[in-house]
Amino acid sequence: MALLQISEPGESTAPHQHRLAVGIDLGTTNSLVATVRNSIPCVLADAAGRNLLPSVVHYTSKGADLVGHEALARASQDPYNTIASVKRFMGRGLVDAQAVAAGQYLFATMNQASSIENASVQEGAVKIKTAAGEKSPVEISAEILRILRQRAESFLGGDLVGAVVTVPAYFDEAQRQATKDAARLAGLNVLRLLNEPTAAAIAYGLDNKAEGIYAIYDLGGGTFDISILKLSKGIFEVLSTGGDSALGGDDFDKALYEWVCAQTALDHLTPQSLRALLISCKDAKEKLSSQQQAFIPIAKTDGTTAEIAVDRQTFQTITQLLVTKTMKPVRKAMRDAGLTVADIKGVVMVGGATRMPHVREAVEAFFKQPPLTDIDPDQVVAIGAAIQANALAGNKSHEHDWLLLDVVALSLGVETMGGLIERIINRNSSIPCAMAQDFTTFQDGQTAMSIHVVQGERELAKDCRSLARFELHGIPPMPAGAARIRITFQVDADGLLTVTALEQTTGVQAQVNVKPSYGLSDQEITRILQDGFASSQTDMAARALAEQQVDADRLIQATRSALQADSNLLSKEELNSIHTHLQHLIAVRQTADALALKQAIKTLAQATENFAAIRMNAAVRHALAGRNVNEII
């Protein structure tokens, strides 16, 4: 992510000329909408005065009936039709999604675990079963965005010119495209997508300050992100990013919940009372950021209610491991950027969970300076997005405004012989951008060329994300190496890629907009490529198989290491079941049957889901060992 300064902020235009634009932070747990009014950025509240909209949607047979707080309130009664944390599945295939779900605990996110059991892949995308039929993460996110659009329009009293929607810096093309599609589906004109850490930096006005390197520490509900940004000559450049997509404020709730269970031996709670207890733990966690003590109500099996007290010190001891865990990606991001703590000029805190005092202390101790916490950490990204939207809508279009430029998050390239990658656009290149490179034929008389567009930093195509595979036809027969095929990669302001191939002797040319694999059906590819490109069913099948094989290898490897580390946590039956599914997957991996492979991956992922949860619980229990309920009730 980079910001290019083209001028200084100007005066806002007269109210009647003001073009209504908003910034939207589409979060995993909560979403917000903000705007700039009379030169002051502000977050827009709902009719009840609430700024945060929980990113939760409830469905009935007629469609989405509740979004936000009301949907959240329905979660315990109707978990299967209440979808939360859908951002984790944006632009993901099912296997990715299962990997996400396996890293989660089961009941904290309502329908998340059950959604995955009920998920299917259609045209490469995850669909989640609801009472209203199967819904894609794009459709579900669109419901959230629609509410925010309506909130903004009723507050501002007119139609929006457009919106800037934020995405994590590490989001790949598929995830960015999915976000953009969701916004369009919600009736929003997307002025641009903006990386979340850059939005936070803009909110603090760092772009107006002295040049330097800044760290953005973002601990949200379900994810942790660290970004190191460098501001130089008006450009914010992402030096490195890192994080943990399965670590967030929810894990602190869960740790406290585990502690309460360990104190009170509450083994047989109903799913409803489990959820209620988890919500109480979340409340207590939030209170402990400003109070020294909180109380957690517990519904007992005999119908009575007890209360358990927890003080800040105890909570911090229970959760210190989680705080420490965030510092590992921080150290790695610093290493990746080749920096020491002395190089960091400022640290911005983002995400509700950074209100916890021990999180702030750990960040301050690491960076040897107090982090910036003046702006509400829940609002800082939406505010930055609003400032950017205001500028893009033309409300500050004096010659001294800032123009922000993104960078490509991951390198883009093509696969060459031997499954190797030729990078065409390097990671962190400012966008919009275009780069071209010449390629040639491999065999005498070759008249077509298969082009495999990939994204990633690894050297082998099999280790990168496959974005598209298509063929260029009409190359005149020539000796091997004589043809000149110029392949041009063009990335627009939203990070979306167009690939053009031109055979230079004949001028045969074709172009493809790479809509990444999350929504790319064979039919769509054929349609997109019909002018000059012909998609090949066999190639598509080969790609599907290769992708399944890579996913299978990943899962086999992960399962083996988990078994090696923790098989003692499993009963004999569970261990046998995992072994059987693992052996089955290994056997199917040797065949070229993509369908059977997909099924075998699915069953092993399901068979190991509980194992993942047990491993996590064991880790938490280990941290809590030796405490007694009588000490605190």
Please report, as ranges, the residues that interact with ligand AMP according to CB under 6 A: 27-30, 220-221, 249-250, 282, 285-286, 289, 351-353, 355-356, 378
Residue in the structure block whose two tokens are 């210190």: 320
229 contacts 239 by C-beta, under 8 angstroms: yes
Look at the chain and count its residues.
Answer: 633
| Catalytic residue selected from 196, 286, 406, 547 | 196
In the complex, the smallest distance separating the C-beta of residue 444 from ligand AMP, rounded to whole angstroms, is 58
Q: Which is nearer to ligand AMP, 352 or 384 (CB)?
A: 352
Q: How many angstroms from the chain centroid is the CA of residue 414? A: 25
Q: Which is nearer to ligand AMP, 216 or 451 (CB)?
A: 216
Nearest to 279 by CA among 151, 107, 490: 107
In the DSSP assignment, the letter for residue 427 is T
In the residue annotation, 553 being an active-site residue is answered as: no
In the DSSP assignment, the letter for residue 372 is B
Q: Name the helix (H) or strand (E) containing 362.
A: helix 357-367
Is 270 strand, coil or helix?
coil
In the complex, the smallest distance separating the C-beta of residue 327 from ligand AMP, rounded to whole angstroms, is 18
In the complex, the smallest distance separating the C-beta of residue 289 from ligand AMP, rounded to whole angstroms, is 3
In the complex, the smallest distance separating the C-beta of residue 286 from ligand AMP, rounded to whole angstroms, is 4
Q: Which is nearer to ligand AMP, 234 or 249 (CB)?
A: 249
Name the residue whose CB lies closest to ligand AMP. 249
Q: Which is nearer to ligand AMP, 20 or 201 (CB)?
A: 201
In the residue annotation, 328 being an active-site residue is answered as: no
Gap between the terminal Cα atoms of the chain:
50
For residue 281, what are the contacts with CB-CB under 8 A and spacing of at least 6?
253, 254, 256, 257, 260, 296
- Measured CA to CA in angstroms, residue 460 lies from 419, 429, 535, 571 at distances of 6, 21, 23, 39
In the DSSP assignment, the letter for residue 477 is P
Q: How many CA atoms lie within 13 A of 32 on its CB side?
A: 26
Q: Which is nearer to ligand AMP, 25 or 551 (CB)?
A: 25
What is the torsional sign of CA 576, 581, 582, 583? Answer: positive
| Catalytic residue selected from 46, 87, 225, 396 | 87
Q: Which is nearer to ligand AMP, 201 or 431 (CB)?
A: 201
In the DSSP assignment, the letter for residue 91 is T
Q: Which is nearer to ligand AMP, 287 or 332 (CB)?
A: 287
| Catalytic residue selected from 172, 173, 218, 378 | 218
Indicate the pairing of strand 2-5 with strand 133-135: unpaired
Q: Which is nearer to ligand AMP, 88 or 285 (CB)?
A: 285
In the complex, the smallest distance separating the C-beta of residue 545 from ligand AMP, rounded to whole angstroms, is 38
In the complex, the smallest distance separating the C-beta of residue 349 from ligand AMP, rounded to whole angstroms, is 10
In the complex, the smallest distance separating the C-beta of residue 317 from ligand AMP, rounded to whole angstroms, is 16
Q: Which is nearer to ligand AMP, 20 or 256 (CB)?
A: 256
488 contacts 434 by C-beta, under 8 angstroms: yes
Give me Rg for the CA atoms of the chain: 25
DSSP string spanning 552-575?
HHHHHHHHHHHHHHHGGGS-HHHH
Phi and psi at residue 296, in whole multiples of 5°? -115, 115
Q: Which is nearer to ligand AMP, 250 or 401 (CB)?
A: 250
Is 315 strand, coil or helix?
helix
In the complex, the smallest distance separating the C-beta of residue 28 from ligand AMP, rounded to whole angstroms, is 6
In the residue annotation, 87 being an active-site residue is answered as: yes
Strand order of the β-sheet with 133-135 is 120-122, 125-130, 133-135
In the residue annotation, 218 being an active-site residue is answered as: yes
Q: How far apart are CA 108 and CA 413, in angstroms?
A: 39
Q: How far apart are CA 216 and CA 236, in angstroms?
A: 12
Query: Residue 580 has which token pair?
Result: 């059987």
In the complex, the smallest distance separating the C-beta of residue 228 from ligand AMP, rounded to whole angstroms, is 20
Indicate the pairing of strand 30-37 with strand 21-26: antiparallel
239 contacts 213 by C-beta, under 8 angstroms: yes
Q: How far apart are CA 172 and CA 270, in angstroms?
A: 39
What is the torsional sign of CA 180, 186, 192, 194? Answer: negative
In the complex, the smallest distance separating the C-beta of residue 356 from ligand AMP, rounded to whole angstroms, is 5
121 contacts 597 by C-beta, under 8 angstroms: no
Which residues have a catalytic role annotated? 25, 87, 196, 218
